[in-house]
Chain A
């Protein structure tokens, strides 16, 4: 079964450092997303991306965050200057039009620890 692949599975970084989280969405999907889950809390929407541009973003997704689809397969989330409160599990997801853009297939997540 097709899956969304995320790397790295776990990253530890120092506060103020830049981090890039990578995702390979399902190949025929057109919509891409990032969500995050702070430990023990609910999953929160960060951003949705379609047709090479952001279609919606949350209040969490401030100027420190950016997304990019640098080629035909990868979808990345960059945090420019990490803060302690950025420590969380970050989930990438993708969806297609046929099954409904909001039927998301999530990756296994990338755990970010900011020290």
Chain B
């Protein structure tokens, strides 16, 4: 069965600190996709990134970066120089190679960035 674990329930940092959100997944599929979504206090779910299982290159987008390691089944998310606007719940999710759009979400990590 597919499973996503985000062991960090809450993280609190001071603005400008770097912070890494951990995500560990389980799947028997050889082809799968990993995602990160952001849920700000307003409640919507904002897509951040999708990565397929064959692409282990790390990705950087501005202050955001993602580290995908198949050997440890992890897909960690780092925010560099955090800002108050980064305060949100962050969800890691997993889907199989099919196109059903069924995402398995982790429990989420609440990030609080203090000024």
Listed in ascending order, the chain A residues whose CB lies under 8 Å from chain B are 31, 33, 35, 41-45, 48, 55-56, 58, 89, 91, 93, 95, 97, 100-109, 111
Contact = CB atoms under 8 A, between A and B. Distances in A.
Contacts of B42: 108
A102 B107 contact: no
Contacts, number: 68
Given A43-B91, A45-B104, A103 B99 contact: no
A44 B101 contact: no
9 contacts: A33-B101, A42-B106, A42-B108, A45-B102, A93-B45, A102-B99, A104-B47, A104-B103, A106-B37
Contacts of A95: 101
B99 A109 contact: no
A105 B47 contact: yes
Contacts of B37: 43, 106
Contacts of B71: none
Contact of B43 (A33, A41, A100, A108): A108
B103 A107 contact: no
Contact of A107 (B44, B95, B100): B44
A11 to B, nearest CB: 15
Given A43-B103, A48-B102, A104-B103, 11 more contacts: A35-B103, A43-B37, A43-B105, A43-B108, A48-B101, A58-B102, A91-B45, A102-B95, A102-B103, A104-B47, A106-B47
B63 interface: no
A91 B43 CA distance: 10
A109 B44 CA distance: 6
Contacts of A93: 45, 101
A23 to B, nearest CB: 13
